[in-house]
Structure 1
Amino acid sequence: MDADFWRLRWRDGQTGWRQSAAHPMLTRHIPAIVEPYARVFVPFCGDSVDVGWLRAAGYRVAGVELVESAVERLFENLGVEPEVETAGALKRYAGEGIDVFVGDLFDLTAGDLGTVDAVYDRAALVALPPETRPAYAAHVSALAGRAPQLLISFDYDQSRMAGPPFSVPGEEVSALYESAYDLELLESAEVEGGLKGLSPATEIAWSLKPVT
């Protein structure tokens, strides 16, 4: 991952993925993935309002985010004063019901992360270029002990705009995850106005349940 690219995006306010309310695909589908009071891992969490929704719904949240200023803003928005400590190669911001690791996802270990019961991925897989996605999918699966996942992806004509967010069509989702998970397409919806107003796109929610 290009750390400078993402730091500049946050510094310059180029954060079009941020929302003012929790993602409706999260609120509709996470209860069927994992029950409240479980610990949900949110890669590339930023200062997402989804994190606040999960905590308010009774879930415990673990996140990882490359940009420290985004994590500081997250805790400020939550009204939580974090305890900050070193955790391996990363920093750990901790508060009641929440732990967020600051640094490169690929430097996070399962030992530092601890046990998680599910993964919620709305902004991570689609933020990565094709060559990085296989390593990402394998690493998150290993970190989470192959816990079930709620994954949200986009499908659109990549030639019409440059990512991120990138198009990750269903056949690629299957190729990345089908060896370890049973995949179910839960819901798809057209993106109102298209992505960045440049391309029609479909947003898709997937349930990933570990193969037994």
Structure 2
Amino acid sequence: MEKSFWLEKWQKNEIGFHNREAHPLLVEHFARLGLGQGDRLFLPLCGKTLDIGWLLERGYSVAGAELSEVAVIQLFEQLGIEPQVEITGDLKCYRAPDIDIYVGDIFHLTREALGSVAAIYDRAALVALPLEMRRRYTQHLVQLTGSARQLLITFEYDQEKMPGPPFCVSDGEVAEHYAVSYTLKLLQTVDVEGGLKGKCPAEEKIWLLESKSPVA
């Protein structure tokens, strides 16, 4: 999927994928990450999700990566925070106390630039990418974070009825991407009310991924 696809979505405000509240599955299962106050989470392809505000309000630190600068500007406006903007390699970083959002191609984000994270919350990254890019993304994410523990949200539905995004990511595919580095636990499966985009029945799933080796 071309970068221009997502940049145009944000430019035209075609963001039906943007929820108006913190994700219920995050709220319900966040404690499973076993984090302490002040721990830092990484949210890949974060957009302007209200999940970030929810996490900050509870005393956690957030790092994110987002292709669209429009989304990041709107995120900080939404939070009522005035960020400092720095150039970090090939990316910009919008930075304020307890929050660092890297703007640009996530594949250009390095482990050195990101720094240490205690956990990953992937609500909208894996499902936003076509299959070949998902393979590349998951390998990059493991390397980028030292296989930090993860809450992962996926969708499962008949891909022939809707082309995506969000894309169907089956249980088997989750294992294909992550079983080498993580133990996988499916925490909950819920039916998508009204179907995905109103087009076809779908299930939304939340996974807990725990590293098989200590985070370096």
User: Common fold, TM-score beyond 0.5?
Assistant: yes
Counterpart Cα distance in 2 of 1:86 and 1:10? 22
Does residue 4 in structure 1 map to residue 4 in structure 2? yes
Q: Which residue in 1 is equivalent to 2:176?
A: 175
Task: Using the TM superposition, give the Cα deviation of residue 143 of structure 1 relative to its aligned residue in structure 2, in angstroms.
Answer: 0.8
Which residue of structure 1 aligns with residue 27 of structure 2?
A: 27
Return the alpha-carbon distance in structure 2 between the equivalents of residues 153 and 64 of structure 1: 19
> How does the TM-score come out when normalised to structure 2?
0.96
| Alignment coverage as a number of residue pairs | 212
Deviation string, structure 1 residues 49-95 (Cα, Å, up to 9, x no partner): 01111111111000000000100000000000000000111000001
The TM-score with structure 1 as length reference comes to 0.98
Write the distance in 2 (CA, Å) between the matches of 1:168 and 1:84.
35
Distance 1:18 1:145, change over 3 A: same
CA deviation string 1:106-162 (max 9, x = no partner): 000000000000000000000000111111001011111111000000000000011
CA contact (8 A) 1:34 1:117 kept: no
Query: Which AA in structure 2 matches 1:19?
Result: N
Alignment of 1:1-212 (within 5 A): 1-35=1-35, 36-212=37-213
Letter in 1 for 2:155: F
The CA RMSD over aligned residues, in Å, is: 0.8
The Cα of 1:34 is off from its aligned counterpart by: 3.4
Q: Which runs of 5+ in 1 are unaligned?
A: none
Specify the code of the residue in structure 1 equivalent to 2:109: L
AA paired with 1:183? L
Three-state SS of the structure 1 residue aligned to 2:47 is: coil
In structure 2, the gaps of 5 or more residues are none
Aligned equivalents of 1:111, 1:197: Cα separation in 2: 42
Deviating 4+ runs (over 6 angstroms) = none
**2:32–2:208 Cα contact (<8 Å) kept:** no
